[in-house]
Amino acid sequence: MSTPGMVLNLAKKEAFSTAQNAADWFIKKGIEFYIEKEAASYLGQQKRGATYQQLREKADYIIVFGGDGTFLHTSHHFIGSGVPLLGINIGQLGFLTDIETEELEKALHMVNQKKYKIEHRMMIKAEHFRNGEKIEKNYALNDYVVNRSPDSRMVKIKLHINDELVNRFRSDGLIISTPTGSTAYSLSAGGPIINPRQVRAILITPICPHNLHMRPMVISGNEKICIEIEGDSGSIFGTVDGHDNSELMSGDKIYIEAADREISIIKLPDRTFYTILKEKMNLA
């Protein structure tokens, strides 16, 4: 019998009541489970508390109670572990946390009966270089974003693909996205939607470019990108999955490519990518 672990968004009250319902279900079924240590204290389940490292070692899968932001934050603790994540939506759209709270018991039953599929989602690796020295490396499930502060000038960027200069432009920033991230920030900036279950690609989406010829691009997952920051535009930052801001300076280079690590996600068989797309965006 599989052993679940649970991770909660501590800022959302509904996450606690929904997680308590899941805990009650597991206890009723005689299923051993663990809860992220801090959340376990709030739920009065200290004996079942576990650190993220312990969850990686002891849990067969992780249930995330929150929105897509919670899912992204949690996913970084399980990169390359093979431990799959199941998202319960306590947020807004919920493309990653696509199971609604009223579907919780059905989802738990299906997972317990092993009636699900595991998707292995592509990630990207971003390496930040300054003066020829690598100063940071990050992995992103959704996107790596170059953006500026509101009081800064437009960012000057040189974009290389496979060591070839493709464009030189000014903009408010640039989004490098995975197919999973194509329904996130990139979509808001005018990027296309890519089915992450079928397509392995990297999406390049400029943010308000001051260049009529700079438009979103979809390139192969085997290609390599280099973003070079030019000029002194003020406060510029590189952001990974909406977290982990790092300051960028003139001359900095960010090399981005498909990572050699993946995130595993549990998907129920009655949910296709297009089913979720229609539900979340009120299409058709």
Distance between CA atoms of 180 and 276, rounded to whole angstroms?
13
Q: Is 231 exposed, middle or buried (0-12, 13-18, 19+ CB in 10 A)?
A: middle
User: Which backbone phi and psi does 51 adopt, to 5 degrees?
Assistant: -75, 170
Q: Is 163 exposed, middle or buried (0-12, 13-18, 19+ CB in 10 A)?
A: exposed
121 close to 98: Cβ distance less than 8 angstroms: no
CA nearest 230: which of 144, 145, 149, 159? 159
Q: What value, to the nearest 5°, has the Cα angle with vertex 179 and ends 228 and 245? A: 45
Q: Known catalytic residue: 68?
A: yes
Q: Of the residues 68, 98, 241, 252, which is catalytic?
A: 68
Distance between CA atoms of 127 and 137, rounded to whole angstroms?
4
Across the beta sheet with 143-148, the strand order is: 217-220, 201-207, 173-177, 143-148, 236-240, 243-248
Distance between CA atoms of 202 and 186, rounded to whole angstroms?
11
Could you give the residue numbers annotated as active site? Answer: 68
